Structure 1
Amino acid sequence: MLVLHNLSKIINHPISIKIMKNTTILSLLFAVFIFNSACQKEENQKEETYRSVRYLKVGNTTLSNNTTYSGKASADQEMELSFRNNGIITKKLVKVGQKVKKGELLMQLDNIQAQLSYEQSLASLKAAKSEMYTAKSEYERGRKLYEQGNYTLSKYETVKNTFENASNQLTSAERKLAIDHQQILNGYIYAPKDAVVAEVNANINETVSSGHKVMVLNAGNEMNVIVGVSESTINEVKNGMGAFLNFKSIAQKLKGEVIEVSPILNQENATFPVKIRINNPTASIHPGMATEVKFDMGDLASEYNIVLPLSAIGEDEHGNFVYTIEDHSDELGVIGKQYIKVGELTDEGILINEGVEQGQMIVTAGLHTLINGQIVKL
């Protein structure tokens, strides 16, 4: 009790009360300082959570004429040859590079089935002729007797019908023989004109089907280049347009002229075939040689030449996409995901065919760190 009494006296002493007040004020000030520091730190941390992004504002781009296509030289007249029958090749009389004359035999099938069918048709034709001659003789005899009144109408009609049927049978037999003869001829391939053998795609004892390409001949004096052009550029390519050709294998650079633009898409490579005539070709250019092709179309400028860097293009299971910056104000913006259709790759970047409009803000780097709806710092 004495200790408590003394402690109470010390606490209630004026000096002690003053010290306690000062201590309380200092504690409060310290607490306020700590609280403000924590809030400031929290605000700083909150600002740091917004990732900074690099972006560009979409505008029209003038594309320079630097797009290069891969082409292949071909003769002015290229002829693909095939059999019109199925069978086994028994003769191959030419090789690549060989010159052939019009009408020269190039390749032959066994033709066993066609030959057997022809022989059967020939026998049927002989029998039909014999029956027709007999029926004709009976008909002429019956007609005379009928006119003399020595033959009944019924008998006359019978021999007349027999003759007509025999005549029809003969006509059918003649047609069948002609068809079988053509089938035999279909087992031979002859040169349709003077030419050079460019390809041979079949060998002796190989079984081939009707319509299968077994040989390619090149004829004519002019040389062309065939090149596939993408759908994003095909509308810019016109007949009469110039082209620059670079044959690296023979170190020759030549000029050409577009003479044919196909309106039909090649399903194998998703391009449109374009034929270019080589101006003043040299003897060192042979069919099948590869060449680089650039079309002389100046600068490709249009109202929708939107080009983005490759780093701005993403891809997922649904296709190609870009990240746009939406609802941007001050230094912040919201990421949006937008699917696009891309065109060809140019020196300026990749051409965008659909999905991006002028004035949009497109993220150009770090796509793998972003998600749709994310807030970013500009």
Structure 2
Amino acid sequence: MSLSNSIINRLTAAGPAVLVVAALGLAGCSQEKAEVKDIIRPVKVVEIGQAQASRELDYSGSVRARTEMNLGFRVAGKVTERLVDIGQHVTSGDVLARIDPSDYDLSVKSAEASLDAAERQVETVDLAKKRAEQLYAKNFAPRSQLEQATLTYNQAVATRDAARSTLAQARNQVGYTDLKASQDGIVTTVSADVGQVVGAGTPVMTVAVDGEKEVLIAVPEMDIAEFKPGKDVKAGFWSDDALTLDGKVREVAGSADAQSRTFAVRVSLPNDPRVLLGMTANIKASVGSKQQLVSIPLSALAEKDGQKIVWTVDRNGETVHQRPVKVAEFTADGVSVADGLKPGDVVVAAGTQFMTENLQVKLAGETTQQSASADDEAKRLR
């Protein structure tokens, strides 16, 4: 019989109570041995990557002519003809539309009659003036009579000159009944048609002048400081992915739109026949990064004693340590941290409630690298 069997027999002979105490003692020893072994918990982590030195802004807009003329008649009247359509190319001097010239023709005839009467009056007073000069020279008439004749003649000449100007103006108005193109371009808008009565100066057509084209984009106020006149940008086009042109910011609006709260920015493009009016273009501008914000998952953020913390992993010792952080903002994809983390830090991404100081861990799977700049996230969400 073995030694262990001998001990059990002796304990049995001593009584049941002694046997229970011995059993509890053996169980306690087994539990103590189990606790000696350290717990190694697998964790999921993210690594903070290098911050980007610059970021890229991307805004869409439409191609338009740098100069667009809103053409209208210089006189009022009823439109009788429209000689061009939208999309038609016109050259300088082409007649685009006409209004009824009847009233203006009558004005010309009236002015011609007034001028003829004024000229006859000048001839009449001229004879009277010459007669007064002859009589005064022979001392048959006083000087006052000569002065009166001279004054009447000068008044008649002034009336004649006014009549000539009135006739010239009336003839000009007849010419204004034809709406002509002043520069070469493409008709983009027709605002009045045959039968419509328009006032002087009312826009009837819009012509996009041939030459330099530009892209009009709307930039929000948070990025408008990055767009200054003369800034170099890149222009891409939806119609052709391979077409990329170098553009330059030409003009920035001085105030934001009242409804959209965006600023109108015009970007000049080089002359390229592949770029057509109305095309959609993407304007890309590289700018320096703002304050570097570390973006981490929401599950990586914990709180202890009222302070926001994260758990970082020491790769050498494979232990975790708490680190206080300063939260800048909460985003749709996580948390932006302004202070407390730097590129290269490894942060526990999940299970922070089970972490304790110097707890040994094992990295589970591959480490995900998180961008150190939250600007990229903001650009992606825009």
Instruction: Indicate the TM-score class for this superposition, using the shorter chain for normalisation.
Output: 0.5 to 0.7
* Alignment CA distance shift 1:244-1:169 (3 Å): same
* Alignment CA distance shift 1:300-1:85 (3 Å): farther
Distance in 1 between the 2:81 and 2:276 partners? Answer: 27
8 Å CA contact 1:198–1:217 kept in 2: the answer is yes
Distance in 1 between the 2:226 and 2:251 partners? Answer: 11
8 Å CA contact 1:84–1:186 kept in 2: the answer is yes
Q: TM-score, normalised by structure 2?
A: 0.57
Distance in 2 between the 1:235 and 1:159 partners? Answer: 76
Distance in 2 between the 1:239 and 1:361 partners? Answer: 32
8 Å CA contact 1:256–1:276 kept in 2: the answer is no
How do 1:38-117 residues align onto structure 2 when only pairs under 5 Å count? 65-117=55-107
Question: What are the superposed Cα offsets for residues 273-329 of structure 1, whole Å, 9 maximum, x if unpaired?
Answer: 43323246343x3212232323x2323537xx99xxxxxxxxxxxxxxxxxxxxxxx
Distance in 1 between the 2:87 and 2:59 partners? Answer: 27
Match of 1:167 among 157, 160, 164: 157
Match of 1:301 among 290, 303, 328: 290
- Per the TM alignment, residue 92 of structure 1 is displaced from its structure 2 partner at its CA by 0.8
Question: What are the superposed Cα offsets for residues 336-356 of structure 1, whole Å, 9 maximum, x if unpaired?
Answer: xxxxxxxxxxxxxxxxxxxxx
8 Å CA contact 1:90–1:108 kept in 2: the answer is yes
Match of 1:152 among 142, 159, 171: 142
8 Å CA contact 2:56–2:287 kept in 1: the answer is no
* Alignment CA distance shift 1:270-1:113 (3 Å): farther
Distance in 2 between the 1:276 and 1:192 partners? Answer: 25
Question: What are the superposed Cα offsets for residues 191-228 of structure 1, whole Å, 9 maximum, x if unpaired?
Answer: 22333323322211122222222222234344322334
8 Å CA contact 1:237–1:261 kept in 2: the answer is no
Q: CA RMSD in A?
A: 3.6
Secondary structure class of the residue paired with 1:212: coil
How do 1:1-378 residues align onto structure 2 when only pairs under 5 Å count? 65-249=55-239, 251=241, 253-265=243-255, 271-279=262-270, 281-283=272-274, 285-294=275-284, 296-301=285-290, 331=306
- Per the TM alignment, residue 136 of structure 1 is displaced from its structure 2 partner at its CA by 1.6
Distance in 2 between the 1:231 and 1:144 partners? Answer: 85
Q: Any gaps of 5 or more consecutive residues in structure 1?
A: 1-60, 307-329, 333-358, 366-378
Q: Any gaps of 5 or more consecutive residues in structure 2?
A: 1-50, 294-304, 308-325, 333-382
Secondary structure class of the residue paired with 1:189: strand
Distance in 1 between the 2:289 and 2:75 partners? Answer: 50
- Per the TM alignment, residue 154 of structure 1 is displaced from its structure 2 partner at its CA by 2.9
Q: TM-score, normalised by structure 1?
A: 0.57
**What residue number does 1:38 align with?**
none
Distance in 1 between the 2:202 and 2:261 partners? Answer: 23
Distance in 2 between the 1:63 and 1:127 partners? Answer: 84
Question: What are the superposed Cα offsets for residues 137-191 of structure 1, whole Å, 9 maximum, x if unpaired?
Answer: 2112211221221222232222112111111111221222222222222222112
- Higher mean C-alpha displacement, 224-233 vs 146-155: 224-233
Secondary structure class of the residue paired with 2:286: coil
Question: What are the superposed Cα offsets for residues 76-123 of structure 1, whole Å, 9 maximum, x if unpaired?
Answer: 543332212222111111112223232121111113333333322222
* Alignment CA distance shift 1:157-1:97 (3 Å): same
8 Å CA contact 1:242–1:255 kept in 2: the answer is no
* Alignment CA distance shift 1:73-1:120 (3 Å): same
Q: How many positions carry a matched residue from both structures?
A: 255
Question: What are the superposed Cα offsets for residues 236-259 of structure 1, whole Å, 9 maximum, x if unpaired?
Answer: 212332323343245564223225
